[in-house]
Amino acid sequence: MAPSARATAMAIELDRLLGARDDASGTRAVRSVEHAPDVSRAALFGTTRGDENASRMPDAFYACGDALVMSHDAVVGVREASARRWEGDDDDADFDAAATALCANGDHATAWNARKRTMKARFDGVEKMSARERDGLVEGARDELAFARAVQSRFPKAPSAWAHRRWVIDAARAAVIGDGSKKDAWALETFREECRACDAAVLKKRLNYAAWSHRAWALRRLLPNRRELLDQELCENERRVRTSVSDHCALHYRSHIVKRALGARPADRRSIVLYEDELSRHLIRQYPGHEALWSYYRFVFDTMICAFPRDGDVFASIKSFIHEQCDVDEIVRVDPARAERDAPTQRRLALAFEIWMNVRVARERGESVVIKHTRATNGSTVEVESKARV
Q: Any idea where the domains of the chain sit in the sequence?
A: 1-20+71-85+95-222, 226-389
* Per-residue pLDDT, 225: 80
Parallel, antiparallel or unpaired: strands 380-384 and 369-373: antiparallel
What's residue 51's pLDDT?
72
pLDDT of residue 390: 39
Task: Give the total residue count for the chain.
Answer: 390
**Distance between CA 275 and CA 265 in Å, rounded?**
14
pLDDT number for residue 336: 66
Q: Which of 355, 357, 359, 350 is nearest to 381 (CA)?
A: 355
Mean pLDDT, consecutive 10-residue stretches, the chain (390 aa), reads 85 95 88 95 77 90 94 96 83 86 96 96 89 92 97 97 97 83 91 97 94 97 90 96 94 96 91 96 93 97 86 86 83 63 85 90 76 53 45
With b for 16 or more beta-carbon neighbours within 10 A and e for fewer, the 74-87 pattern comes to bbebbbbbbbbbee
Residue 189 CB neighbour total at 10 angstroms:
12
Q: DSSP H helical segments within 109-179, as ranges?
A: 109-123, 131-152, 159-175
| Burial bucket for residue 11 (CB in 10 Å: 0-12, 13-18, 19+) | buried
pLDDT for the residue 375: 45
DSSP single-letter state for residue 56: S
| Sign for the pseudo-dihedral over CA of 152, 156, 162, 165 | positive
